[in-house]
Amino acid sequence: VSNAGVGMVGPLECQSLAAMQSLMDTNFFGLVRLVKEVLPDMKRRRGGHIVVISSIMGLQGIVFNDIYAASKFAVEGFCESLVVQALRFNVAISLVEPGPVTTEFEAKLYEEAERTDYSRTDPETADIFTNLYLRNSKDVFASLGQTPEDIAEHTLRVIEAARPPFRHQTNVAYTPMAALKHADPSGALMTDAFYKLVFKYDAVLRLSLR
């Protein structure tokens, strides 16, 4: 089971390339290093199961999560490319894709975001992030967040499955979000829906979450 991960949230202009590279080294290359270690023996034995804790953000990018989403997209692409070859050797690969999970990981991430200096971005972007994104994110976690124990139960079911699924989403509330992307290959439907949700109907969003 690969569960290593670090987060990053905020305006792109306020994040250093060094921090981005460090995140990718953990979230993506950490997984690659693990798979390179375990896969050869699994192939020799012609049996094994690699379970990767991904994210719904590996399927759908979320505003102000640019680099974190990119790392999870990389994880998804890596596993999707590898799974067919692995199956030839009777090795299963499963991606567990949670939405928000209420842990110290997220709490520390958002506490740090509230203390960050946003002078490197424009005032409008800083205002959108602090007064729209952070406020809505707290409501999302309070309303839709899962517990670590819940994610562990989902992961256990994937591990014990007779025919392990390649993808397993842990929160059905996010299924429509992922479906929007596939409903319109041009991306217009998804982009328009998220734009309106963030900038036009944020009050409705907050009310519905509460």
Unique residue bearing structure tokens 């967040």: 145
CA-based end-to-end distance of the chain: 34
CA dist list (Å): 138 to 21, 38, 41: 27, 38, 44
Q: DSSP assignment of 121-161, as one string?
A: S-HHHHHIIIIIIHHHHHHHHHHHPBPHHHHHHHHHHHHH-
- Listed in sequence order, the DSSP H helices in 11-95 are 17-27, 29-45, 66-88
According to DSSP, residue 77 is labeled: H
CA 106 to chain centre: 12
Q: Is 68 considered catalytic here?
A: yes
The whole-angstrom separation of Cα 91 and Cα 47 is 5
Among residues 68, 118, 133, 195, which one is catalytic? 68
Residues with active-site annotation: 68
